[in-house]
Structure 1
Amino acid sequence: MTTQRLLWTFLFLLISAVQECEPVCVDAVPDTEAVVGNPMKLTCVSCIKREINAETRVNWYYRTNRTAEPQLIFIYDGKPQGVEGPWMGRLLWNGSKDLQDLSISITNVTLNDKGRYECVVHRQFSFNLHTASISKNATFIDLVVREKVCLFNKQAHHC
């Protein structure tokens, strides 16, 4: 086998191994109901083995419904970055330092925040002279917004 062919085979196996690794991680089930005026955490968890070094970029998108065109609303690329629009100043990075939790929070929910939120994760891995990258939609949250919560017999019910 030639050196070049051996190198390509090794690279293919290495990329396959990175894509197939399933590190131990707890995938949180995101909340899907928010109340007007309250904060709401949009949960996104994307596991990566801690010993693997990767550059991570996270894009959060919003759609009014499942078939609408996605609108970029938030970016994390080494630091949190708001995007001009109705969410500017209302979205906060709520992720972890190790970038397994990639969540954001809406600080003051409005009725207009109802819709689908998508967390898209881009990771670029470096192995000596080679790089590999993957992109995946980590989370879809179909958010329902309620005007208020009423209490009946010490149990919360949506009015």
Structure 2
Amino acid sequence: MCASRDPPPLLLLLPLTLLALQAPVCDGACVEVDSNTEAVVGEGFQLGCISCKMRGEVKAEARVDWYFQSDGNVTHIYSYEDVQGEILDPRFYERLAWNGSKNTRDLQDGSIFILNVTDEDKGTYTCIFRRKLIYDHYGFDTETNKTIELEVVDRLTRGMASILSEVMMYVSIVGLQLWLLVEMIYCYRKIAAAGEEALRESEADGGEDTRSTELPEDPPPPPKPFRRKVILSTTESCMLTTFDPS
């Protein structure tokens, strides 16, 4: 009878590879994240504005408009529609760039990037998403507003929340390492104890088998038969000698 052989590991990986190649490419999930609010003079800064659709399978078209308010005056500074952006405020000429969704009219990320931040950029920025959801027989218009209070500083300072989060991250890492070390020691001791117990059981089983295979001792020799001796007196022996039946 021939022994069965396991298939090589490469043959097991082949079906998984084919499935991965045939799987469709999925769009990344949309997550709304608040924008940073502190910019440094002379550096670049991104004004984040993300508005996710409630239902990703519905087709939509969106337009994004940015407004800037400083000293009580509200100015329309930027507009993006039909995969094309336009700077509307001369103060931001050659200093604003689109950094949102690319090559699509279904916008979900309407972020812009400010180059070479100045003190005059401090103020309130408002991002307005005007989205039209397209159904089979009608369209539905929605509007979402997001406001950002931008502060301009000479040097970036870390907030207390950032410091605490970093400290907690290191504490978590150290705690996990200590927990793993304790678990490893516990498992090692448990495995060692189980091995010693198994060794003792095997030694006990081996001793019983040895005693059962020993040859029995030779039985004692049987007792010799008892022989009675008949002692004849001198007279009887003489009579037996002199008696002649003829």
TM-score for both structures, normalised by structure 2: 0.47
Is the deviation greater in 85-94 or in 141-150?
Answer: 141-150
Given candidates 148, 151, 155, the residue that maps to 2:155 is: 148
| Deviation per residue, 1:10-67 (Å, 9 max, x gap) | xxxxxxxxxxxxxx742212110001110000000100133111111000000016xx
1:73, CA displacement in angstroms? 0.5
1:88 aligned partner:
93
2:78 aligned partner:
74
2:58 aligned partner:
52
1:130 aligned partner:
138
Is the deviation greater in 96-105 or in 110-119?
Answer: 96-105
Given candidates 100, 108, 128, the residue that maps to 1:100 is: 108
1:129, CA displacement in angstroms? 3.0
Give 3-state SS (helix, strand or coil) of 1:86's partner: helix
In structure 2, what is the Cα distance between the partners aligned to 1:141 and 1:121? 14
1:96, CA displacement in angstroms? 2.0
Q: Which has the higher strand share?
A: 1
Q: Which has the larger radius of gyration?
A: 2
In structure 1, what is the Cα distance between the partners aligned to 2:48 and 2:156? 21
Question: Structure 1 unaligned runs (5+)?
Answer: 1-23, 151-159
Give 3-state SS (helix, strand or coil) of 1:30's partner: coil
Would the alpha carbon gap of residues 149 and 84 (structure 1) be closer, same or farther in structure 2, given more than 3 Å must change? closer
Structure with more contact order per residue of length (Cα contacts < 8 Å, sep ≥ 6)? 1
1:134, CA displacement in angstroms? 1.1
In structure 2, what is the Cα distance between the partners aligned to 1:54 and 1:107? 30
1:149, CA displacement in angstroms? 4.4
The root-mean-square deviation of aligned C-alpha atoms, in Å, is: 2.2
Letter in 2 for 1:31: N
In structure 1, what is the Cα distance between the partners aligned to 2:144 and 2:33? 17
2:212 aligned partner:
none
Give 3-state SS (helix, strand or coil) of 2:46's partner: strand
In structure 2, what is the Cα distance between the partners aligned to 1:51 and 1:69? 40
| Deviation per residue, 1:104-147 (Å, 9 max, x gap) | 0101100000000010000112223312111120x211000012
